[in-house]
Amino acid sequence: MQKKPLFFAGIFVCLFVAGFGYYQYQKPRTGTSGIAPDFSLAAEQLYTEYNKDEAAADKKYNNKVIEVRGVVKEVQSTAKAISVLLDAGGTGGGVNCSLQNSEKNKATAGDYITIKGRCTGFLMDVSLVDAERTDK
């Protein structure tokens, strides 16, 4: 007789955890609009700092809002997002910025633009997420 309430309690806990997980997954990402940048610098400078000493640059920039200026090297877009790669001055790398696909965030190769976003670290390029153009 004790098994029935335990069974229903287990089902309730599982449904609660599944519902909470679904809510967290569907929750919209917070953007950087309205947040003052912690740092404002050129894309080349940001890339150089990460390339020279990744640990120190991560400590300084990771999870901070950064405003980056530079020349657009490459643009890739999907229905929901635009990926803009800012040139790091011929070093082979750059700053990869993920923006929402909107008219304000459109860019073409060769444009000099300013983007504000949250730094997530360094893989082959420095990555900024939740980014938006601030020069328009």
Dihedral angle sign, alpha carbons of residues 69, 84, 31, 17: negative
Q: What is the pLDDT of residues 41-98, one digit of tens each?
A: 999 999 999 999 999 999 999 999 999 999 999 999 888 899 999 998 877 789 999 9
Backbone angles phi and psi of 15, in degrees to 5: -65, -40
* C-beta of residue 100 within 8 angstroms of C-beta of residue 80: yes
**At CB < 8 A and 24+ separation, what contacts does 105-108 make?**
105/132, 105/133, 106/82, 107/72, 107/75, 107/82, 107/133, 108/72, 108/75
What is the value of pTM for the model shown? 0.77
CATH 2.40.50.140 fits 39-133, yes or no: yes
> How many CB atoms are located within 10 Å of the residue 96 CB?
22
Reported as a single tens digit per residue, the pLDDT across 30-42 is 778 788 999 999 9
79's tokens: 């229905």
Listed by start position, the domains of the chain span 39-133
